[in-house]
Structure 1
Amino acid sequence: QLREGGISAPILVMSYTPPALVDAAVQHDLTLAVTEPDVAGALSASAVAACQRVPVHIKVDSGMGRFGLLADEVLPFVEAIAALPGLVIEGLFSHFAAADSADKTYTRQQLETFQTVRARLAASGYAIPLCHVANSAATLDLPEMHLNAVRIGIALYGLHPSNEVEPVVPLQPALALKSHVARVRTLPAGSSISYGRTYITPRAMPVALIPVGYGDGYHRLMSNRGAVLIHGQRAPIVGRVCMDQFVVDVSTVESVKVGDEVVLIGCQGAACIRAEEVAGWAETINYEVTTSLLPRVPRLYRELTEL
């Protein structure tokens, strides 16, 4: 999708790629993280068939315990990769498990492991051009770990990795989630709202229908917890969030009408609902809030001042 959208910059696929997809990776000029012999062999064959020299990055598991080669496995694997036609070892990288914590002890241990691997490779004649370990937290908090490339993720949204990372850079949120009022009516006292009858109106209550739901990536845990902004005022969610819609109490918001702007994440006038607040309601983190928005939610790209 990125290539079809006109993005020509280098793209590194940092997770596992099955052998069946390496031809597509070569076709779209994607750089793969390689840690498995079968993937390396398939990628080599595809590169040779395409008459190309394909860059690869080697992932070191320095303490994440997820994807990558353990320290003692890296040199033999690099030697094997170097012998395969069509492949060029362009990068060496790892990923931190706790860089977003106040205690950086484990992160420094991970860096030490990575640097030991890097030195071992250099001593064996493998000077790998790109070495990178810094995620958003390390990029913001640990400049000595920038090496010669950094990888910001959540910071691209203008959000901080955690409350434990000092806001040394004045980030501004780059994402807003907006909708509109689809219906306004007043329900009598004692009315139940949405599935499961989890909310009963304590009085005659004006409510508004918002056409967003968990089918868009707006979490069901927001039920009876979250709120939205209408006319710069907070309107609490009442009842369960459904697949395609939910209801808000607009008792304290004046003159609500169909078509009015609704802000689920972002600012409206001086009032704001941050991704971190939404994450608190949904018992998760801001990363999940921003990446959960599904493809059916239209994306509009605007100048910063328009957010």
Structure 2
Amino acid sequence: MTAPTARTVSPVPGPAAPVPGPAGPRLRIDLGAVAANTRLLADRAVALMAVVKADGFGHGAADVARTVLAEGATALGVTTLHEGLELRAAGIAAPVLSWLNPVDADFTAALRARLQLAVPSREHLDAVIAAAARTGRRAQLHLHIDTGMARDGAAPARWQELCRSAARAERRGLVEVVGVMSHLGCADTPGDPCTDAALTAFRAAVGTARAAGLRPRLRHLAATSATLTDPRTHFDLSRVGAGLVGIDPSGTVRLRPALTLTAPVVSVREVPAGVHVGYGHACTTTRRTHLVLLPLGYGDGLPRAANGRAEVLLQGRRCPVVGRISMDQIVVSTGDRPAAPGDTAVVFGPGDRGEPTAADWARWAGTIEHELLTGLGRRLHRTVSP
């Protein structure tokens, strides 16, 4: 493989200023972007549950939670009980729903922390009822129905039994069914007929719950894409996670990315044509060029699958990553313009200065932004801007 050369992006106002902090790669989290995205999404939804799972999609769950609650979200969503308990430990008192737990999860701790629980099966319901009896606390439940993904949620054949059992527990004062929920499998493609089928199944499931004597006040089905593109799916609440941090899987709205990843130049060398770069000698220089070493790699969350396609912004230009992405380092070719140790490369950001975005890196790696952002490593020094 031959080494590509740097290309100029126009217009570019100049190199991005280094983010303050200790030496090494730095990840800046822009809570102002989260706030702006939240306001836009809250305007589209009837009510907004902000999903801050996976540490707020890699942006810091507690920081994101406080921001979204100040900007129009009325509740928070997480997958695991541990995530919900961490929000409580951070002093966040808003309603929190946890929807993905094994039947032997610590539902006692969840009820003591006033977490709401999604229930996808009779076995889960029985475990929550037992915890409610132990603690003397009535559990607030969202019954979870599968409407076409064969993933989480009760199988349609078991839904009526689940609703009837929940109604009996509600009459005993052990639980309160406050919601019915499901998830859409094809909402990223507006107009996909599978969304119509899911809507029909969801409405029928709500009808079954009501026929069993339940009166759930929160029906929620839409995530980011459906919230932005399909008002039919909004019901009483939308669960939005990716959109809060600037990801629109439907590609219909420009949201503001909230992360900027930078790295300092460690060293620079000038090499002639014919020099092999990195493991496996996957790249060979075709002319005299300058090679720059940056101290981050797949151990920090850069996808190795982006080999041969990735770029960074350095000295106001897009410069290619050459050779294989290593665990701790990448090599960048700057052509005939040398950088200097201590210069700052922008690995990705909002794209305002011509830098690559997380969407670019995801495309180069053949994946989605969600995977890239939630996989960023703990070694990255994080700074938060309001």
What TM-score comes out, normalization by structure 1 length?
Answer: 0.89
Moved more, 29-38 or 278-287: 29-38
CA distance in 1 between partners of 2:152 and 2:275 (Å): 51
Q: Which residue of 1 aligns with 2:32?
A: none
CA distance in 2 between partners of 1:256 and 1:18 (Å): 56
CA distance in 2 between partners of 1:133 and 1:193 (Å): 49
Moved more, 129-138 or 208-217: 208-217
Shift of 1:248: 0.7
Q: Which residue of 2 aligns with 1:89?
A: 177
Residues 318 and 355 in structure 2, CA contact (< 8 A), matched pair in contact too? no
User: What SS does structure 2 have at the residue aligned with 1:250?
Assistant: strand
Higher RCO by CA contacts (8 Å cutoff, separation 6 or greater)? 2
Moved more, 285-294 or 212-221: 285-294
User: What SS does structure 1 have at the residue aligned with 2:140?
Assistant: strand
Shift of 1:27: 4.4
Residues 34 and 40 in structure 1, CA contact (< 8 A), matched pair in contact too? yes
The answer to whether residue 343 in structure 2 is matched with residue 260 in structure 1 is: yes
Q: What does 1:163-202 correspond to in 2, within 5 Å?
A: 163=251, 166-167=252-253, 170-202=254-286
CA distance in 1 between partners of 2:269 and 2:114 (Å): 54
- The AA in structure 2 aligned to 1:22 is F
Q: Which residue of 2 aligns with 1:233?
A: 317
Q: What does 1:1-307 correspond to in 2, within 5 Å?
A: 1-84=86-169, 86-163=174-251, 166-167=252-253, 170-251=254-335, 254=337, 256-267=339-350, 270-303=353-386
Shift of 1:294: 2.9
CA distance in 2 between partners of 1:210 and 1:30 (Å): 43
Shift of 1:236: 0.5
Shift of 1:267: 4.5
Residues 265 and 294 in structure 2, CA contact (< 8 A), matched pair in contact too? yes
Count of residue pairs the alignment pairs up: 298
Between Structure 1 and Structure 2, the one with more helix by share is 2
- The AA in structure 2 aligned to 1:92 is V
Moved more, 69-78 or 148-157: 69-78
Residues 180-222 of structure 1: per-residue CA shift (max 9 Å, x gap): 2222222343222211110112233211111111111111012
Residues 66-109 of structure 1: per-residue CA shift (max 9 Å, x gap): 11113342221122123346322121111001011143321021
Residues 109-137 of structure 1: per-residue CA shift (max 9 Å, x gap): 10111011112222332111111000111
CA distance in 2 between partners of 1:2 and 1:225 (Å): 38
Q: Which residue of 1 aligns with 2:80?
A: none
CA distance in 2 between partners of 1:300 and 1:27 (Å): 33
Residues 6-63 of structure 1: per-residue CA shift (max 9 Å, x gap): 3332222222334143334334433222123333222222233223222121111111
What TM-score comes out, normalization by structure 2 length?
Answer: 0.72
Shift of 1:161: 0.8
Residues 19 and 43 in structure 1, CA contact (< 8 A), matched pair in contact too? no
Shift of 1:284: 1.1
CA root-mean-square deviation: 2.1
User: What SS does structure 1 have at the residue aligned with 2:143?
Assistant: strand
CA distance in 2 between partners of 1:286 and 1:68 (Å): 25
Shift of 1:288: 1.6
Moved more, 186-195 or 221-230: 186-195
Shift of 1:255: 5.2
User: What SS does structure 2 have at the residue aligned with 1:206?
Assistant: strand
214 and 21 in structure 1: CA distance in 2 versus 1, 3 angstrom threshold: farther
Q: Report sequence identity in percent.
A: 34
